[in-house]
Structure 1
Amino acid sequence: MKLELFKTFWGFEGGPDEAAPLVRAAGFDGIEAPVPEGEARRDAFAASIETHHLPFIAEITTAGSYVPDRSATPEAHLLDLETKIAWAKPLQPRFFNVMAGCDAWPLATQINFFARAVDIAERHDVVCSFETHRGRSFFNPWVTRDVARAVPALRLTCDFSHWVNVCERLLESEWETLLELAPHAHHVHGRIGYPQGPQVPHPAAPEYAECLASHQRMWEALWSSQIARGYTVTTMTPEFGPDGYLHTLPFTNAPVADLWEVNTWMGHEERRHIADFLSERQAA
């Protein structure tokens, strides 16, 4: 199985023209980015990714940005999802990474919502991979598990850093739940969380080695499931980002690390990691 790495546009000020040389220099494979609003901007974006031969994962947030509009109804979220799928289909994304729903909805509403969201993706003949994310429906392992039990066709983008933060612990204690969800895993956001936050200052720092190893064990469980399901390619977007995630120094607000360097390190580490993982499987 091959690992393909995608550069996140979260915190990146440029477009595909500016991203392409960074992607190539880092040995990444493509980009993950929101779909631009406005037909002219989308046309320019499409032309740019075609010129640079950049595989593209389209990012969708329903009814708001990363945090949803608390007053938006499930109907509003579904309408936004379908509208943004229609916007992006001409750009021929590999698939859609979707931050959907709201953490405050009751379980019955969550199940109905995702059953309908999966139907929308099937009707448009696209793949939607729904992200585990604070503030959204899949903000913890147990709601996600219960929805997945009721919606077998559900595909997940697994960003376990959010769950580590929400649960205030590394997730070995939830291993059975993670294994139950592994058959739904489609994509990974490669960020390392710790019990008091969704992003360590730097994943190479020795004081966070246990957190890195914990996330890597979980990713191995997902890769094992994907291999069993016939995946020949697995995708990851190293997604260390700004907006309060990146640690800064008091008073100066100076960042403690360079985000692209951190994401590049994470990508290179996972190339090494998956090579070791596959070699060990072959030797077993």
Structure 2
Amino acid sequence: MAAGIRGIRSTRPAGPGATATPRPPLLRELLLVTALFLVYKFGRLFANGHETRAFHNADRVWDAERAVHLPGEGTVQALLLHGEGLIRAANTYYAAVHFPATIAFLAWLYWRRPDHYVWSRRVLALLTTAALALHLLIPLAPPRMLAASGLVDTARVYGPSVYGATPETDSMANQFAAMPSLHFGWALMVAIGLIMATRSRWRLLWLLHPLLTLLVIVGTANHYWFDALAAAVLLALALLVVPAPQHRRHDGDPDPARPLVPLTPATAASTASTAGALR
């Protein structure tokens, strides 16, 4: 009987803090993630300039969107411009949420889901590298700079803004790196990563983050629809290349081996005797 009870208890999940996959060395991961953000931030500067090509490509993207009958970016902007508070909130979301949300996502995965953390970090690194290559190959002026769009540069007019008044005065950002939109690509990966790593019945609500990001980047005239589409395609390719982790039960997940009724001496004895009879 004692052996039977010990066998039943061994099916319980490990104690608090146990994980199926060991966490990678923290210092190494901090260096890797920091390098990822620095490559994204400063690598784009090498694509700066090329103003003539950037505006030529912008005209082509704008015409292509109209050719396939996509709704004008101005439709979204008109909704935001109904109130100054709303447009300021959108500008703040664009300026302040992108990096912190991604960092918080990686930090949570590192602590709670190490296997999903490694997968997500690899996908984000591949996505960012591919996006940087596209920034270098296809400089693109954002719709807020394109006269044909008739859009308002909401960050410059209402604030806050992360860019200089003109590309020439902006030494810390490449304003001609609109395609693909890593604002959208990273937000979409955050949602996918959290949906994959959690089991809450509400986890699909994480998709509101990329949806809101899409409305913000288009409504503030920082990106075209095609910029978000390009980011989604690159992310899909990265997800195909990097194998997804298999789900392992973590703390807080349902335990299929745990008895549905409280384990008492009587039920333990009954279970042990049944197991012995089956043998």
TM-score range, shorter chain: under 0.3
> Normalising to structure 2: TM-score of the pair?
0.24
**Structure with a larger share of its residues in helix:** 2
Larger Rg: 2
**Structure with a larger share of its residues in strand:** 1
> Normalising to structure 1: TM-score of the pair?
0.24
Q: Taking CA–CA contacts closer than 8 Å with sequence separation of 6 or more, which of the two structures ends up with the larger relative contact order?
A: 2
